Each structure stands twice: as C-alpha cells, then as structure tokens.
C-alpha cells in the first residue's frame, strides 16, 4: 500500500496561504526526502507520498517522517503545513499555479475550474495484482467510498464562509471533467479500451487524466482511492487507509468464497456521496439493502464488523478501531466549525475566529508525530 497527502502552506503570522513560498523550501524538503516530496498545482501546496509499504505500521512511520520534515523545513521560512482540504479563509483568486509545463497546460485547458482548485486531498493505493480482479473489486468497493469520505471530512470553509458542508472540496473538484463515481466495467480490457478511445480522440494523454473517486492506477498495479478529504490528524489518515485496505481484502475474501457485494446503480452511491459531503458523520446514509436511511454510526459499526477478520490478518485492527474515536469526537470539519462558532460566541471578530481555526489546524497536523 501507499498513501499520498497534499498540504497547504500557511504563513504563521497572517495565517493566510503562502501564495509565493520560497523555492528554497521545496529544495530543502527534496534534499531530505528526495522524490517523496513534490510541488503541487497551486504554489501554496506541497505533496508527499510514502514508499511502498508492506503494512499500515510502515505507512505510519513514513507519514510521521514526511509530515514532520515538511513542518520542520517550513518553520525555517515562517510557514507551516496544514492537513485540510480547504483553507478557512484564503481566496482562490489570490493564488497562482506552479510554473511547470504540465500545470501550465492544465490551467489553459481547464480555465476557471483550474484556478479554483485551492483544495487538497489524500490518495490511498492498495496493491491488487490481477488486472481483472482490480476492476471487479473497484465495481464493488465503490459502494463504500462515501462512508470513508464521511470519516475524513476536513473542508467546511470556502473563502471565509462556513459553507454548511463537511466536505466542500468535492463541489470544487466535481467541476472538472472525468470526475465523480467511476464507471462500471466487465473487464480490465474494457477499461483499457475506454482509455485508448479517449487518448485516440485527443481528449487525454493517458489514464492519469481520469480523475474518478477510485481508479486503477496508471502507474502501479493498485486500486487508487481518491474520494476522501485529507485528514488533519495523522491517526485519522491511518484509519481511513486501513478501512479502505480492509474493504478490498473483505471483497477479495468473498470472491474466493464465490460471493460478492451487490452492485447498486451509480445514483445510489452518488446519493450517499452527497450525504457524506453535506453531513459527514453527523446524520444518516442510505442502506440500500434495507431501503431506508440509517444513522451513520450504525453503518460504520456494520462495516467494522464485516472487515474485522481482515483487519486482524493485515495487522491494522487498532487503526480500524480508532474509527470509533472519530465518531465520538467528530471529524476535522466538525472541530473547525465548533472552534469558529465558539470564538464568535465569545465575542471574537470573524477574522480572529478564522485565525483560531488555522492555529488549530497547524497544531493538529503535527500532533500525532
């Protein structure tokens, strides 16, 4: 498995985004982390990625080093990384994209939709070697992605506004083409033919330009999960990654027993995806087997029970159990809104309240290191 995280860089004094961080910052990070750290589309972002990890314990060590190094280097320039999918008050129109040919091409092709991409995400790769199995598991696992999104939500604010959504990030990302819930395929060959058709038509260069919530990686023999927000707390990241790995393992176990998860129409998955965006873990999702809305906590407990044997086998039972703590204390999005509303209730000005949210994000991003 492997995990990628995208951080926003903020100025410690103003708490605003660092829309023009010094080039030396990335160079210093690269000197210590090599190719595990790269620039992202926006200049105020930085991306890290673990090496291939045999288990979640290795991923923990990698992410501790990656987060810690970026934070340590950024501090030398008066900056700090925050693991949040949107900044509480920065405005997209004040940002500029990284000066690279691929990003220049992207900005030209996507225009205003690209200029608004002031969002950060988390991608989790899990190895699934047989190509047709990759497609079979993707078709089934899509059902569970909204449940993972709900646990990860960290983007309630946009340009200083409390949007009322727990994950505003996806409303921004969904403006791009080739996003959303993945299509269903009967085989890996059918998927390859779709990619080849788009490439032949001159629409994309390769499969990396298909930005679905989940996709067969174009570079690795993995299924890449892309729906979730980035988790502010490292422990939450490990929980979401572990649950994703366990869901795939559970579906593989069912397959070996000649069983499978029911494939529901995409609109059903999309409904729960919206409910995760809007409410996170605080409300209901639809159990389409029962045909009714069920409190999110009950659905999470059911998933945890289903994957318990897989969590034990994969050595991530503790990380899976941590989902109960997220449910009890709330996600990053809930914490951000609570801090903001409490500050306003105490008489703080709106900007001071937003600054307080940024301060919490700075601390929480490195708390578990």
* pLDDT for residue 368: 86
The packing angle between helices 131-141 and 234-256, to 10°, is 110
What CATH class has 2-365?
A: alpha beta
Residue 99 pLDDT > 90:
no
Residue 225 pLDDT > 90:
yes
The phi, psi pair for 9, rounded to 5°, reads -100, 125
Q: Where are the domains of the chain?
A: 2-365
Q: Are 153 and 121 a contacting pair, CB within 8 Å?
A: no
Residue 74's contacts (CB-CB under 8 Å, 6 or more residues apart) are: 9, 25, 80, 81
* pLDDT for residue 106: 86
The phi, psi pair for 216, rounded to 5°, reads -70, 125
- The token duo for 206 is 């390769």
* pLDDT for residue 95: 87
Q: Name the DSSP class of 255.
A: H
Confidence of residue 188 (pLDDT cuts 50, 70, 90): very high
* pLDDT for residue 62: 97
The phi, psi pair for 100, rounded to 5°, reads -135, 150
Q: Are 261 and 251 a contacting pair, CB within 8 Å?
A: yes
Residue 103 pLDDT > 90:
no
Residue 183 pLDDT > 90:
yes
Q: Are 295 and 167 a contacting pair, CB within 8 Å?
A: no
pLDDT tens profile 82-93: 999 999 999 998
Going through 213-276 in order, the beta strands assigned E by DSSP cover: 214-216, 222-225
* pLDDT for residue 40: 85
Rounded-to-integer distance, Cα 355 and Cα 270, Å: 34
In the chain, % of residues over pLDDT 70: 100
Residue 197 pLDDT > 90:
yes
Give helix then strand counts, H and E, for the chain. Answer: 14, 13
Confidence of residue 23 (pLDDT cuts 50, 70, 90): very high
The secondary structure element, H or E, covering residue 291 is: none
Question: What's the rounded mean pLDDT across residues 117-122?
Answer: 96
Confidence of residue 250 (pLDDT cuts 50, 70, 90): very high
Mapping DSSP to helix (H, G, I), strand (E, B) and coil, where does residue 225 land?
Answer: strand
pLDDT tens profile 285-331: 999 999 999 999 999 999 999 999 999 999 999 999 999 999 999 99
Question: What's the rounded mean pLDDT across residues 342-346?
Answer: 98
The phi, psi pair for 280, rounded to 5°, reads 60, -125
Mapping DSSP to helix (H, G, I), strand (E, B) and coil, where does residue 216 land?
Answer: strand
């Amino acid at each position: 498995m492997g995990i990628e995280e995208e951080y926003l860089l903020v100025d410690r004094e103003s708490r605003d985004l660092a829309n023009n961080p010094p080039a030396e910052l990335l160079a210093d990070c690269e000197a210590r982390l090599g190719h595990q750290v790269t620039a992202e589309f926006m200049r105020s972002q930085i991306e890290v990625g673990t090496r291939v990890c045999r288990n979640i314990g290795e991923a923990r060590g990698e992410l501790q080093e990656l987060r810690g190094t970026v934070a340590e280097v950024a501090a030398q320039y008066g900056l700090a990384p925050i693991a949040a999918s949107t900044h509480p008050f920065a405005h997209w129109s004040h940002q500029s994209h990284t000066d690279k040919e691929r990003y220049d091409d992207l900005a030209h092709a996507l225009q205003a939709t690209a200029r608004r991409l002031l969002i950060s995400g988390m991608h989790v790769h899990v190895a699934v070697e047989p190509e047709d199995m990759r497609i079979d598991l993707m078709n089934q696992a899509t059902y569970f992605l909204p449940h993972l999104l709900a646990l990860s939500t960290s983007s309630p604010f946009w340009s200083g506004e409390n949007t009322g959504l727990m994950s505003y990030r996806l409303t921004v990302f969904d403006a791009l083409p080739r996003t959303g819930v993945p299509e269903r395929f009967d085989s890996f060959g059918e998927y390859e033919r779709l990619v080849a058709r788009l490439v032949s038509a001159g629409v994309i260069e390769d499969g990396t330009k298909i930005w679905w919530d989940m996709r067969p990686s174009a570079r690795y023999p993995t299924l890449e999960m892309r729906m979730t927000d980035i988790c502010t707390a490292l422990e939450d990241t490990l929980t979401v990654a572990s649950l994703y790995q366990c869901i795939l393992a559970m579906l593989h176990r069912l397959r070996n027993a000649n069983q499978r998860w029911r494939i529901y129409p995409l609109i059903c998955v999309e409904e729960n995806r919206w409910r995760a965006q809007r409410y996170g873990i605080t409300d209901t999702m639809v159990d389409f087997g029962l045909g009714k809305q069920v409190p999110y906590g009950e659905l999470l407990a059911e998933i945890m029970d289903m994957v318990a044997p897989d969590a034990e086998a994969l050595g991530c039972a503790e990380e899976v159990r941590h989902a109960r703590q997220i449910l009890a204390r709330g996600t990053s999005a809930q914490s951000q809104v609570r801090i903001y509303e409490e500050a306003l209730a105490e008489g703080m000005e709106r900007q001071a309240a937003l600054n307080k949210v940024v301060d919490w994000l700075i601390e929480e991003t490195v708390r578990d290191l």
